Amino acid sequence: MKRAILAAAFILVAQSLPAQEYKDFGKDRLNNSPRHGEWVDIKSGDRTIKAFVVYPERKDKAPVVLVIQEIFGLTDWLRSLCDELAENGVIAIAPDFLNGQKFEDADGASKATSALTTEQIKTVLDATSDYALTKIPAGNGTLAVCGFCRGGGWAFDYAAANPKLKAVYSFYGNALDDPAKIAKIPCPVYGFYGENDERVNATIPKAEELMKAAGKKYEPVIYKGAGHGFMRSGEPNNPNVREGDRKARDEAWARWKTLLRQL
């Protein structure tokens, strides 16, 4: 009888506890950063979009890079990458496409991200771009966009929708294959891909063909020994860091830093 009572009590307590939130790495960098990071509210019609912004330490105005989340959402890792961008002299702003939702695991976040519609994605990106260009006094009027995984594909696609972009950095996301959209791209597109990611890499040749035909600049680089998501899985603070991805991440960052200085 006592066991039954204890078991029932345990179930009631377990049911009353909040679900454990999906945890990620990256907070250590954010907590120890000398740079200023903050959450801002972006108005878009009747909706308010949350976005995370990190500012570089510099005495002049800076370019702004719009950071698009990977399929896992606006994670601690993505926010730590915003800080790393700011360390390299740009203002980084990352909108929260999932509107503050919390998830117990990566699978829940992935499903929510996958459910976003094309219209919802564009609405968030348009509102964030407008905020970046008109509401950030420290910005110098130059806007670029980067994205990772699913967000890498969104970044490439969004290039066709925003004529104010000066550069696109697409990390292991599907390349654009729509000639009508490609004709509208106003800026160079720089691709970062892992050698062991044939699903995504299979989309590169068509994009190369279409971008060349349209007179657009597309520079895809495939990093040897790297898999999909190497910027995350190669992160030194990742408890499950993969050596091949770490090397690719270092090479990709070296290239990216050079490109950022060109903004």
The CATH number for 173's domain is: 3.40.50.1820
Query: What sign does the dihedral 127-128-129-135 (CA atoms) show?
Result: positive
204 within some domain = yes
Number of H helices, E strands in the chain: 11, 8
**Could you tell me the pLDDT band of residue 104, with boundaries at 50, 70 and 90?**
low
3 state SS of 175 = coil
6 within some domain = no
Q: Note whether 42 and 52 are within 8 A (CB).
A: no
189 within some domain = yes
- The span from the CA of 162 to the CA of 127, in Å, is 11
16 within some domain = no
- Domain residues for 64? 22-260
Q: Quickly tell me which residue has 């959450």 as its tokens.
A: 39
H-type helices in 47-117, by residue range? 76-87, 106-114
Closest CA to 51 of 86, 1, 97: 97
Give percent of the chain above pLDDT 90: 79
Dig out the tokens for 157 from the structure: 């696609």
Q: Note whether 92 and 117 are within 8 A (CB).
A: no
131 within some domain = yes
Residue 185, exposed/middle/buried by CB under 10 A (0-12, 13-18, 19+)?
A: buried
Whether this prediction's pTM lies above 0.75 is answered by: yes
Q: What is the mean pLDDT of residues 7-18?
A: 33
99/137: higher pLDDT: 137
Predicted confidence (pLDDT) per residue in 60-91, tens digit = 999 999 999 999 889 999 999 999 999 999 99
Domain count, the chain: 1
Q: Which residues contact 165 (CB under 8 A, 6 or more apart)?
A: 143, 144, 145, 158, 159, 186, 187
Q: What is the mean pLDDT of residues 226-243?
A: 94
Q: Which residues contact 104 (CB under 8 A, 6 or more apart)?
A: 19, 20, 21, 22
Q: Note whether 220 and 204 are within 8 A (CB).
A: yes
